[in-house]
Amino acid sequence: MGAPGAGKSTIGKTLARKIGLQFLDLDQEFEHYYHTSISTFLQKFGEETFRKYENEMLQKLLQEDNIVLATGGGAPCFHDAMSLINEKATSVYIKLSAESLCVRLAHTKKERPLIVQLTPEKLRDYIEKTLKIREPIYLQAHIITKGESIDIGALVRQLQCSIV
């Protein structure tokens, strides 16, 4: 878990491969299940409805065994999802500074529905405001790793120790 642009999917795929588990991305699973993009879903139904259905999808995926799951950036922060994640799984927070996230998101090619129309100044404000709200929740993760200089090997070892 982590903010948009933290590298959850990229790191999750690498971790899954290294520890021999299946990788799933909550956003991709949501889009596949509902046959629509998150952007379209948000436009049609709004964020409150999206968060409700996202949480239902998260609960379903947390029943799976032997997976590495990348959550959406906000998924742990709604409907007491962080407690559920920590109860059912080993949680990892990929922590990045607001500055690092701004650089990554300003150059992203991935569609990010909640920030697509933001100017660089508004993007920075959005990231700082969002981190201020979400980070106390993210910090409840079992493992916290610095995203700017992540050591995948060390993270794999930490995960293996916590899973055993």
Give the whole-angstrom CA distance, residue 5 versus residue 73. 9
pTM of the predicted structure, to 2 decimals: 0.91
Q: Where are the domains of the chain?
A: 8-163
pLDDT in tens, the chain (164 residues): 999 999 999 999 999 998 899 999 999 999 999 999 999 999 999 999 999 999 999 999 999 999 999 999 999 999 999 999 999 999 999 999 999 999 888 877 676 766 777 888 888 999 999 999 999 999 999 999 999 888 888 888 887 777 64
| CATH number, span 8-163 | 3.40.50.300
**Distances from the Cα of 31 to the Cα of 22, 50, 131, angstroms:** 18, 11, 25
Give the whole-angstrom CA distance, residue 161 versus residue 50. 35
**Distances from the Cα of 129 to the Cα of 3, 65, 72, 77, 134, angstroms:** 12, 35, 17, 14, 9
Q: Which residues pair with 69 in a beta bridge?
A: 24
